[in-house]
Structure 1
Amino acid sequence: MSDRRSLRIVHCFRAPVGGIFRHVRDLVDAQVKAGHQVGVVCDASTGGDFEETLLASMRDKLALGLKRIAMQRQIGPGDLIAAVRTRSTFKAMQPDILHGHGAKGGIYARLSGSLLRLSGKRVARFYSPHGGSLHYAPSAMAGRVIFRIERFMEGMTDRIIFVSAFERDTYISKVGAPRCTSALIYNGLADGEFEPVQPDTNTADFLFIGELRTLKGPDLFIDALAGAGRMGGPPPTAVMVGDGGERDQLVRQAEAAGIGAQIRFLPPMQARAAFRLARTVVIPSRAEALPYIVLEALAAGRPVIVSRVGGIPEIVGDHSAALVQPDAQALARKMAAVLGDPAAHAAALPNPGQIRQRFSIGGMATRLENEYFAALNE
């Protein structure tokens, strides 16, 4: 721990799934190790058995507790109830830092932090968008409303923390240049995640791992797998790891495309365990900020095919052979090319050492801690 005082830090986010949940777990581990007291507030209804296990593993680390409150995805009347409940929870936790992640977490944390400041408490209010509301189109009514809310909330914000240059630039183009202090801090991985993972024998050709929802492109993955199979050679095989409301629809899509027997659908599991199931990891997302799964795969020495969206080019390089447009036909061509020469594709990717230099948990946590103390000292 540094020679600075121990902080009381509370992280608030909606859904304990995916990249935001991973990010918060990493921060909890690093901040507890640094001697800080940490608490977490998140949605009470999101997540399955896998996520419940991860939440349970956090409880003993959280000196300020783990509190789950109903938080709906869409804007609605339930937000008012959630705001009242989160404010009461935050007040009891007595934080020095309220750090909201994602649109809903960011609103609840900053509103409550501002009310605590009105009552004389010194609370620093932090917000990390993680993509979230920035995925909306500024021409759409929902986008216009959300971006106005984002602009208004800057008056209740001490720091905005962006996880990629793409996210920062998107915020500027859709919301405007931040009128509060902001910083760019990349996501990071732990030392153990740079240990190589070797695929099992008789593995599948391709792996999809993530939430089974449109934003992550699982439908593109299925159509591309079918398309790659029509380009010659043995029918490619795949494993899809994850869960979500679109799972049954995706199973039917695979059957309708005539490739149901070529895909195994498996429940959520740790990424490094999933990496053993296939030779190449495919991330066909339609939108991202800076996805952990790309970092994890490359750190483990696994080849990837990734969408040219969000901050992904900041990880692999803007001219990387791994990049492809989130389009089923383009993805199919890339998958067929990788099947034709997997060694050449793997050799063109960043190696684990290059990933470690830019994306470590230690660097991420230290930079964020510096921002916490800077905000408290202003």
Structure 2
Amino acid sequence: MTAFAISIDIGSTWTKGISVDLDGAQVVERRATATTTDNLERAFNQVYQGLVDTLRRKAGADAARGAEIFLSSSAKGGLGIIAIGLVPELTVRAAKMAAACAGGKIIGTYAYKLSDDDVKRIEAQGADIILLTGGTDGGDGVYILHNAEKLARSAIRSAVVYAGNRHVQTQALEILCAGGKEALGADNILPELDRIDIDSARSRIADLFIKNIIRGRGLQGVKERCSADPRPTPAAVYDFAQVWGETEEGLLILDMGGATTDVYSVSDPFQTSQDRLYRGLPEGRVKRTVEGDLGLRWSALHTAETGKNWAERILGPEGAGELLRWARRAAEHPEIIPQNAEEQRLDDFLAQVCVGQSIRRHGGVATLTYTAT
């Protein structure tokens, strides 16, 4: 019998699904509905039922009954993660890379020893996860233990993933658990100054994703019907880019949503010539950046503000004003769909801003600095 699969993604704005004939590599049906943020399972069921009904009609009851079910989610833009490290250019940046590659959205970064004011800000930010890093293996352990103490005595309710100096990991986890915090240990994301290891931290964050998104947001029943554990959408796309990039010379993927715009690229690391010295962390082959201020619905107003100067040049002052009004409507009513050519033109312009700005930020810049020798 032909094998079929149903894959559904719960996004911050829309819940989308697709049914596929795996043997024939053919799409059977696509469905979508506005995400029901008060109960994510309701939108899932609407999409799922539509896909199953079509599959039953086209391929028979046995095919519909035997179809594998897969789920991914980036509802609310993904898990909010705070990254804490030792040095901004090293462990903090490595922590941001690990969080991004795991499908999280960085909502704050902190370096060195946490102060009382830092802790108050962290408490107010309400992250889903705190990624606590710092120190190479066998290196400095004072700073990260200080930060563990600060977090343990705080009022934060976020889960903590420890991915720092492995020589003090047991001590740090004991401190956090004694303070009533949910804490998980992972391999050091920066075991040596010139080596990054984010796979273990990614796995821990994925575990917490299942708990926070699935159990905490009404999807436990859905999870039990799935053929595999649900995945954070960004992590699933990252893995896809990694696999696809093995056979491609270069690859660029844009995932533009209602809340964020994610950019993935696969390319060989930046190479320096012999007469230049490259400072900073080594670049990986697969890269992901997430722009939390660029989106077509929840973040539409900020997107319009970001592209204001460009809009005035292309659309004129009156057109820029219309863009701002459309963005305000889109942010207030994220389920909205353009109803005419003019609204579609404005929505397309927002998309152009998301694409242009996100790729520009993803690429970054190289700064030339002359040294004494």
Q: TM-score, normalising length from structure 1? A: 0.27
Q: Higher relative contact order at CA 8 Å, sep ≥6: structure 1 or structure 2?
A: 1
Q: TM-score, normalising length from structure 2? A: 0.27
